[in-house]
Amino acid sequence: MSVFALFFRHYFVSSPHVLSNPGEQFYMFSVIAAWLISLCGRPFDTPQEYDDPNATVSNILSELRALGGQVDFPPSKLKSGSGEHVVYVLDQLVEKALKSKGFTWDRPMYPSVEVEDECVQEDDAELTLSKVEEEMTQEDEEYEEEDGLDLDTLKTRTNQIELSGSRPAVVLESDVDAAEWNLEVERVLPQLKVTIRTDNKDWRIHLDQMHQHQEGINTSLQDAKGCLFKLREDISKTLEKVSSREKYLNTQLEHLISEYRQAQAQLNKVKELYQQASGGVTERTRILAEISEELEKVKQEMEEKGSSMSDGAPVVKIRQSLTKLKQELEQMDVRMGVVEHTLLQAKLREKNNMTRDMHATHLLEPNTQPY
């Protein structure tokens, strides 16, 4: 816990630039997270400084999920050891640890502090707006009270004073030197200056600004109204001129318009005839294209036949074939002669054998007869 006491308030908010080892912040985060997980009653080994950060982060997040925390960010966000996600994980673990320990927050007890009267000396040269308004209100009330006395009352008071004889016998005159008086005035004049501290958030300033803007809008609106009225009159006059001119043109060009309508109708008829004629031309063009294709085919066949007839190669081939057939026929005749000769020899041999057998039987028959 002595190490934890060395952390400042925003240690895990951002990466500090004064650390010599960048991994120190992540190591402190992992150590604190392991300590909080152990406070929640779950066994968790304290990670070492040179452990794999991926394994450490995955273990911490798995324990947080097991405790019921929600994790909707990738584990790589915790490798820096600072930032929003690190603070979120620590906050969740602290809440789980406090809940597991049964910690509850008591109601705050505010100490009773006796308020002492403080004498605040205000500078006479600076006044607030509220004080100035109070003084102006008092002066207005006194002025209204003085205005309440009419001339008749003043005349009656003057008459009463004259009758009573209480008029002063000697007129009061000042015995102060004018130069000294002017010096005194110059000396006291800087102290008599009133400086009012204005507050931009005061509603009175906003109200004055609103009045100023309203006056500006009213003046601008008056000018704009005049311009708009003039513009409306000009537009109305122009529209009247255009409508009258249109009527005049319609009356003057009525016969031309009728002729144009007739020409337009004739043009429509001619267009219809043209479309019909163009349809027939299209059909005939298609038929002509088919006939042209057939004619091209016939021409191509005739060219092929003419080229074959004028070419002597087929005749040479036929002659070669005929000579080859003749040779084959001669060979066949020779073979047939050989075969016939062979058959003839076989027949003669068989005939000789038969005659020999017949003579042999005739010779044997008389010898075998009895005497």
Residues 284-313 pLDDT 10s:
888 999 999 999 999 988 888 777 666 677
Give the DSSP per-residue string, 23-82: THHHHHHHHHHHHHHHHTT---PPPPTTS-HHHHHHHHHHHHHHTT----S-GGGGTTS-
The pLDDT value recorded for residue 322 is: 92
The pLDDT value recorded for residue 369 is: 52
pLDDT at 21 over 50: yes
pTM: predicted TM-score of the whole model, two decimal places:
0.31
The pLDDT value recorded for residue 41 is: 84
Residues 44-88 pLDDT 10s:
888 888 888 888 888 888 888 888 888 888 888 888 888 888 888
Residues 203-252 pLDDT 10s:
788 888 899 999 989 888 888 888 888 899 999 999 999 998 888 888 88
The pLDDT value recorded for residue 24 is: 81
- Alpha-helix residue ranges (DSSP H) falling in 70-202: 84-100, 129-147, 151-164, 178-188
Mean pLDDT taken over the chain: 77
The pLDDT value recorded for residue 254 is: 85
The pLDDT value recorded for residue 277 is: 84
Residues 112-156 pLDDT 10s:
655 444 444 444 444 444 555 566 566 555 544 444 444 556 556
CA atoms within 13 Å, Cβ hemisphere of 84? 4
The pLDDT value recorded for residue 331 is: 92
